[in-house]
Structure 1
Amino acid sequence: MPKNFKVINIHPTKKLKGTKSKLLENKKIVVGVTSSIAAIETPKLMRELIRHGAEVYCIITEETKKIIGKDALTFGCGNEVMEEITGNIEHVALYDECDAMIIYPATANIISKIALNIADNIVNTTAMMFLEKKPLFIVPAMHENMLNAIKEHIEKLKSKENVYFISPKMEEEKAKVASIEDVVGFVIEKIGNKMDKKVLILNGGTAEFIDKVRVISNLSSGKTGVALAEAFCREGFDVEVINALGLTPPYYIKTHKVLTAEEMLNKALEIGKDADIIISCAAISDYKPESTSDKKISSENEELTIKLKRNPKVLEELRKEFKDKIIIGFKAEYGIEEEELIKKAKDRMKKYGLDMIIANDLSKHYFGDDYNEVIAISKDNTIKKIKGKKSEIAKEIVSMVKKLIIPRRCQ
């Protein structure tokens, strides 16, 4: 052993825990791996589960080792990989300790054996322990002909309580294993934690129709809203996003798609009833065409005059409807002095009764930039200048929002 060699007591995988969310925090999940070529994706699956807070254990069939080595799977889960049942009765211990089991990938052989109550290896024996007792997620991967051949077994298992099949992707006559995002998203949906505080984020750029194909819009990228959604998730908030044009939030964040300012407002009024905090960082259209053509306007016209009318102010309507919720707005200006920017932001905060406002000058960092400079102002007149990556700014904003929550709990 080299002189300066240090023994690693904690597997580096543990550093990943909860880096995306706390949706699976304190959940223990056993992943059973069988001998499909899709097994090479299993380390990625296990690491994604860990990023949402789960503790992951891995069991494999003997044949699986022909596809993927144990070291790769240990790398994925950070725990010792088990391949047989010993005097430690691993199948019982895993059932007692774990909240759910995922078989990824699941071959025709393993699915059929579970359906027929055959327990001749550690994976199907452990599955028998979970069957109809705790959630068992089965993720098939095989040739289409084999999938068709075991339909009877699949239907039998689907009829059982707490058994969930995650459908494969049918390509090139193959039932290819579902994506990691689909699997983890489904697992979160079924066994994920229910968070205490709910945040609703309005994000992206809205668009207003001129005719059936043309719109008036803006260049909002949606990056700020997505960064905020991710940051709140990491802090254990229940996050929903109403998203117009621009970047879409990741799969584990519930997202509602809208396009116009009216749709944005109506959806916010609907979902906002259950939210504790509402944040509007969307670039919402101030105006819309007074009339909209019900067909495509001819491009042969020499001139086209469009008369605009005001849209309702979303922040104003939200405050009218939700008098006791924490509401946070954004104020974007272009090419003005900092003092004037702060004044305009404070005026808007007072006008709409906001708890906080985030102001920025678009002449410094325009739409779509990964960096920004903002001034965050709270209703207690706390003013904080924040600059850097939008992900870093989002983290600072979350910290400020958390301080707003504490006084309300004491009221």
Structure 2
Amino acid sequence: MLNGKRVTVFVTGGIAAYKSADLVRRFIKAGAEVRVAMTKSACEFIQPLTFQVLSKHNVLVDTFDEKDAEVVSHINLADWTELAVIAPATANIIAKMANGIADDVVSTTLLAITAPRLIVPAMNQHMLENPATQANISKLENFGYTVLEPDTGFLAEGYEGKGRMPEPESIVNSAQLLLIEKTTNLPLKGKKVLVSAGGTRERIDPVRYLTNESSGKMGHSIAEAARDLGAKVTLVTASKLEYPFGVETIPVSSAREMQEIIMKDFDTTDIVVMAAAVSDYRPKHQADHKIKKTEDDLQILLEENPDILATMGNQKNKQFLIGFAAETDRVEEYAKGKLIRKKADMIVANDVSKEHAGFNKDTNEVIIFQTNKNPIHIETKSKKEVAKDILLEAIKSIQQI
């Protein structure tokens, strides 16, 4: 979402200004083109040269330092900006923005910006809680600007409190969510997408379980791709991976837990992607204590788990249902059979025996099968790229229905 975006970071005079250098670096790493404007007070904490080196652009500090006679620098920057990030945002700049005061290069440029604004307050807790500051923040929110909640932690004054600037990674994530929210032409805007991920775990006793090799990377990538395409996403995951930002994530363990959560939201969902590797069987009896080793062989009686994909296939009305087939041989035969048997709209098949595809890999190679359509072969790519390709193919099919 940030790739190619023109982002201006406005740095004001708080101790948290040192974090802004890392923030600029992270925006650039995410693909954004970044420029920086600073107040004179911010220059007391960190030098403009730092941001110039990081951004590869001159840093705007003085309203009247006009290096290019053909443009007015602060208006030119305002017109260039597609996302304005004020970090740290002191009580002073918040007051200026709320009341239309333009008496330095940052406040003047911000007054001329029409792009979305992400305001990141950072200050002493008592300054933050002051009624004037709270009134100014409310004013900015009423203007339609996005104001992040400050973190709680150890403050520069030497005590715990609320007012810390969130970490740069969190700010970049919030910026991406803001751009998704403000972009009205995303193909999944207004759609609800439900994704399952990870290998379910079926308990034998309190310390042992049956599972499989699935890491959940493909399912998590699909949830992220659906989010970036504008959808409201729910991820039901049995994986231990970090939860994607901006996605409602519900952790589960067993197949029955996964089915219970998924079926609750099924009726109101537009697209369901069953990327989870659901255990076909579970122990018929689960011991309530650790099973001790004996000289005899241990036999575990298994019973079949619910078939979540088939259940949804039989109950779907408007939903577009995508299933996965992880195979080690006869991939096309098994995938086509699963497509018909489960009454799915799409089956994404992959050969998990391949070195560059399948479980626990960062890349994947898949074939998409749909009824009355030729198979679509997606060559080896990162799982994030494959996830986007799968969803774009699903969108094409939905539009043809």
SS state at 1:345 partner = helix
Over 3 Å counting, the alpha-carbon distance change for 1:404 and 1:227 in structure 2 is: closer
Residue pair 2:363, 2:380 contacting (<8 A) in 1 also: yes
Over 3 Å counting, the alpha-carbon distance change for 1:328 and 1:112 in structure 2 is: closer
Over 3 Å counting, the alpha-carbon distance change for 1:251 and 1:180 in structure 2 is: farther
* Corresponding residue for residue 320 of structure 1: 314
1:33 aligns with 2:11: yes
Q: Structure 2 matches for 1:254-403, cutoff 5 A?
A: 254-292=248-286, 296-300=288-292, 302=294, 306-334=300-328, 336=329, 340-365=330-355, 367-391=359-383, 395-396=385-386, 398-399=388-389, 401-403=391-393
Mean alpha-carbon deviation: is it higher for 44-53 or for 176-185?
44-53
1:18 aligns with 2:7: no
Aligned-pair Cα RMSD in Å: 4.2
In 1: Cα distance, 2:313 partner to 2:134 partner: 50
SS state at 1:284 partner = coil
After the TM superposition, which segments of 4 or more aligned residues of structure 1 sit over 6 Å from their partners? 50-55, 87-100, 112-118, 127-130
Q: CA deviation at 1:312?
A: 1.5
1:45 aligns with 2:37: no
Q: Among the aligned pairs, what percent are the same residue?
A: 28
Q: CA deviation at 1:261?
A: 1.9
Q: Structure 2 matches for 1:221-236, cutoff 5 A?
A: 221-231=215-225, 236=229
Question: 1:323-371 deviations in whole A, cap 9, x for unaligned?
Answer: 343322112234x3xxx33212211111012232233333334631334
Runs of 5+ consecutive residues of structure 2 not aligned to the other structure: none
Using structure 1 for the length normalisation, give the TM-score: 0.71
Over 3 Å counting, the alpha-carbon distance change for 1:305 and 1:320 in structure 2 is: same
Within the candidate set 136, 139, 143, 2:121 is matched to 139
Question: 1:245-266 deviations in whole A, cap 9, x for unaligned?
Answer: 1433542444333322233223
Question: 1:189-215 deviations in whole A, cap 9, x for unaligned?
Answer: 556235332443321112234455544
Residue pair 2:205, 2:290 contacting (<8 A) in 1 also: no
* Corresponding residue for residue 106 of structure 2: 123
Residue pair 2:207, 2:290 contacting (<8 A) in 1 also: no
Mean alpha-carbon deviation: is it higher for 180-189 or for 50-59?
50-59
Residue pair 2:17, 2:87 contacting (<8 A) in 1 also: yes
Q: Residue type of the partner of 1:121?
A: D
Using structure 2 for the length normalisation, give the TM-score: 0.73
The number of residue pairs the alignment matches comes to 374
1:217 aligns with 2:211: yes
1:58 aligns with 2:36: yes
In 2: Cα distance, 1:76 partner to 1:229 partner: 32
* Corresponding residue for residue 157 of structure 1: 136
* Corresponding residue for residue 12 of structure 1: none
Q: CA deviation at 1:60?
A: 0.8
Q: Residue type of the partner of 1:341?
A: V
Runs of 5+ consecutive residues of structure 1 not aligned to the other structure: 1-15, 20-24
Mean alpha-carbon deviation: is it higher for 173-182 or for 78-87?
78-87
* Corresponding residue for residue 196 of structure 1: 187
* Corresponding residue for residue 102 of structure 1: 85
Q: CA deviation at 1:48?
A: 5.0
Residue pair 1:84, 1:122 contacting (<8 A) in 2 also: yes
In 2: Cα distance, 1:78 partner to 1:360 partner: 43
